[in-house]
Each structure stands twice: as structure tokens, then as C-alpha cells.
Structure 1
Amino acid sequence: MKKLLIVCMLMTIGFGASAQFTLGPRVAITSTNLDIRENVADVKSGDAEFGFQYGAFARVKVPIVGLYVQPELLFSKTESTVTTNTSTVDLSFNRVDVPVMIGGKLGPLRINAGPSFSFLTSAESDVAGTVTDIKDNYSDTTVGFQAGIGVDFLKFVIDLKYEGSLSERFGESITAGGATFSTDERPSQLLLAVGFKLF
């Protein structure tokens, strides 16, 4: 995992010498729906909930091949709700996400896709005001993918992307509200992101 991140960073630095470079802040709204591993009696996930991301992006255009590489460093927060037979369980996850998008232009649109590396920093469950640390139930690192379309308008960078996972995402069983279930801390989600080119 670390070797792959280093390779991506070196690619970005190497391309920068002969390509146009862009850097700026980035924020995103996410729509997430929690997954439950198996059917458990009287346990179900709630409706999709909104989360957010903030951080920075860089873009390196490679004129020779007509593509660009866009690494991002984002701090993400997602929340989900699980309803059991006796109560409602609120789950929250904080992560550092590092997507590395590779894309090109098709008319005014950009089309891009690439791997997304995720590092879990905290995970908590809240049952009737009692907060429990559940980070140890999940993997510290997961690998996913992102794919989507985007457009540049003046200095704004706008993207609509879908994110899925390429690695095991489910955690160990959680007991809350009188029920035991396994959840996914990195579910599939839609992202609407806006960046601003500083230069």
C-alpha cells in the first residue's frame, strides 16, 4: 500500500517538469448508505445520509498522451444509522482518503477514474447517548476506486463521482441495541466535489 502511494507521488512529481500543474482546495458532499453483511432479524440500515470531505487536490496534465493525473488528499466524515429491535444506533466514521484519478477530456467534459486509498482514523457508535469506540472492529486501510465526470468552469473544478471498494470492508461484529451485526465502514457512495484552482 505505502509503495503504491510513493509510486503515485513520484509519477506526479516526474510529470510536473514537462506538464501544466494545478493545485487548490477541495470540498465534497457525499451520499452514503450503510451496508449490513447478512440479514439479521429486526436489524436494518437507514436511508442514505450526507457526509462531507475537505482537503486539497493537484492536477498534472501530460500533453504527450493527452491525459492528466489528479491526486487528492481529503479528510472524510460519514454517518449512518442502523435500527434494531430496541433502539437506533448512530455510526460515524472519520477517514483520510487519497484518490488518484487519471482522466482526459471529451469535449467540455472530463472523464476520470482511478484507485482510492482510505485510512480509518476513528469509528464510533452512539446508542441513546452512549458513545463507544469501535475502530478496532475495522481494517485501518482499505482500497477502493472512483469513476466519474467533471467540468472546469473558470477557476472551479466540479466533479460527480461514484466510489466503490476493492478490498474487504466489513468489520467484526458489533453488539448494540440488543442485536449483533456486521457493517461496512466504507460503503459505496456518490460524491459531488468542488475545487478551486489557486494556480
Structure 2
Amino acid sequence: MLLAFIFAGLNLSAQNASFGIKGGLNYGATGEYESVGDASGDFMASFEDGESKTGFHAGLFAQFELLGIFIQPELLYTQLNTEYSTFDYKLSKIDAPVLVGLNILGPLNIKAGPSFQYILDNKAEGGGIQIEDVENDITVGYQLGAGLNLGRLGFDLRYEGAFSENTAFGLNETAAEEFTLDSRPSQWILSVSYAL
């Protein structure tokens, strides 16, 4: 009886599984830029919050649904851009969110869950800035939002945040000062998906 229940559940899950592609735009910024001193060792701290810019993401998703609740794992390439006063910061990463969702009204749904991130590259453009690798290549954040499914086409709006800092260290050659940069993402994500 137990085996029959398990096989029936697996069959139902397979019937309610979908796979597809997705992509879109993200709008946000990384964390605070903090200068921590100059080459002579004198301390002269200054702080600056980055300004949000538009980036993009693209990848694959799967969705497994049972009784109105679904699990949606994704694998995405994401580029996040941030503008500081003297340079632009670009962060490239692989995102693997695992979201749990609930169909609430017709085609509308809500979803939330952890987002695992692997940092591929971080670099500065302009301003004589040299940045080292981030402190942790793998981090965990979160995503939450809402979606609309119209047949095979889906639209999502989510917010992504991080649980802890992920510092990158660097040198501003123009000002001869060392600095730290909090590479945590804080962004809005707008996606379009298509189930195959």
C-alpha cells in the first residue's frame, strides 16, 4: 500500500512538472564602498553607497507542482552593475534559487526561498581602481516575489537580498588609498519565462 502511494505520488509529480528558459532585467546595487586609509598608513575613513543600475540575467528553470504548491529551482547567469562616484562595479555570478510557491488566485502566485550564489567575476571600470577577489565565492541570499502565468508564458517580479556581508578589498591607485567594498546584492528582478 505504501509503495502504491509513493509511485502514485511520483507519477502525479511527473505529470505536473515543467521545464523552461527565462531571462530579464535586474535593477539594484551592491553595498557600501569604504576607504580605510592611504598608502602612508594614515586613517581617513569615508563611506559611499552605490547607485543602482540595470543588469541582466538568463538561464533555466524547473517547476514541480502538487495541490497548488510548487517548488521552483533555477540556474541563472546574472550580471549586477553598481555606480560609485569614481568608478562602476560589475559583479557576475551564477544564481541557483530554490523557491517554494503558492498559487493564490487564477494565474497569480507568490514565491520565496533561498538563493545560492557563486561569484564568477568582480571588476571595476574607471577611476584607477584595482579590486581583489571577494571574501567568499559562494554565498546564500534570499528571493521573494510574485508571478503571473499565462499558459506557457510567465512573468515574475522579485526582490533579492543577502544574509551577510561579502567583502572585496582593493586599492584606489589615483587617490593612493585602500578600500573595502560590500559585494552583497540588493536588487529587483523582472523576468520573462517560457515553459518548453
The share of aligned pairs that are identical, in percent, is 29
Deviation track 1:117-156 (CA, whole Å, cap 9, x = no partner) reads 000011111225x67463x233100000100011101211
For the Cα contact (< 8 Å) 2:147–2:157, is it kept in 1? Answer: yes
Match of 1:61 among 49, 58, 65: 65
For the Cα contact (< 8 Å) 1:34–1:81, is it kept in 2? Answer: no
Match of 1:107 among 101, 105, 121: 105
Q: Distance in 1 between matches of 2:194 and 2:166?
A: 32
1:186 Cα offset (Å): 2.6
1:190 Cα offset (Å): 0.5
Structure 1 residues not aligned, in runs of 5+: 1-14
Q: Distance in 1 between matches of 2:22 and 2:122?
A: 23
1:31 Cα offset (Å): 0.7
User: Pairwise CA RMSD of aligned residues?
Assistant: 2.1
Deviant stretches of 4+, over 4 Å: 37-40, 130-133
Q: Distance in 2 between matches of 1:98 and 1:58?
A: 11
Amino acid across the alignment from 2:195 = K
Q: Distance in 1 between matches of 2:101 and 2:143?
A: 11
Question: Which structure dedicates a bigger proportion of its chain to strand?
Answer: 2
Q: Distance in 2 between matches of 1:37 and 1:44?
A: 5
For the Cα contact (< 8 Å) 1:164–1:188, is it kept in 2? Answer: yes
For the Cα contact (< 8 Å) 2:148–2:155, is it kept in 1? Answer: yes
Deviation track 1:6-39 (CA, whole Å, cap 9, x = no partner) reads xxxxxxxxx7643211111100211112321658
Summarize the Cα distance change of 1:79–1:55 in structure 2 as closer, same or farther, 3 Å threshold: same
Q: Distance in 1 between matches of 2:10 and 2:98?
A: 15
Q: 1:142 maps to what in 2? A: 139
* Other structure's SS at 1:182 match: strand
Q: Distance in 2 between matches of 1:111 and 1:197?
A: 18
Q: Distance in 1 between matches of 2:119 and 2:57?
A: 14
Q: Distance in 2 between matches of 1:94 and 1:16?
A: 37
Q: Distance in 2 between matches of 1:159 and 1:16?
A: 27
Match of 1:156 among 146, 153, 158: 153
Q: 2:119 maps to what in 1? A: 120
Q: Distance in 2 between matches of 1:16 and 1:52?
A: 35
* Other structure's SS at 1:18 match: helix
1:182 Cα offset (Å): 2.0
Match of 1:70 among 58, 72, 81: 72
Write out aligned runs for 1:156-195 (5 A). 156-171=153-168, 173-176=169-172, 177-178=174-175, 179-195=177-193
Q: Distance in 1 between matches of 2:95 and 2:29?
A: 18
TM-score between both structures, scaled by the size of structure 1 = 0.79
Q: Distance in 1 between matches of 2:12 and 2:164?
A: 35
Q: Distance in 2 between matches of 1:61 and 1:115?
A: 18
Summarize the Cα distance change of 1:82–1:140 in structure 2 as closer, same or farther, 3 Å threshold: same
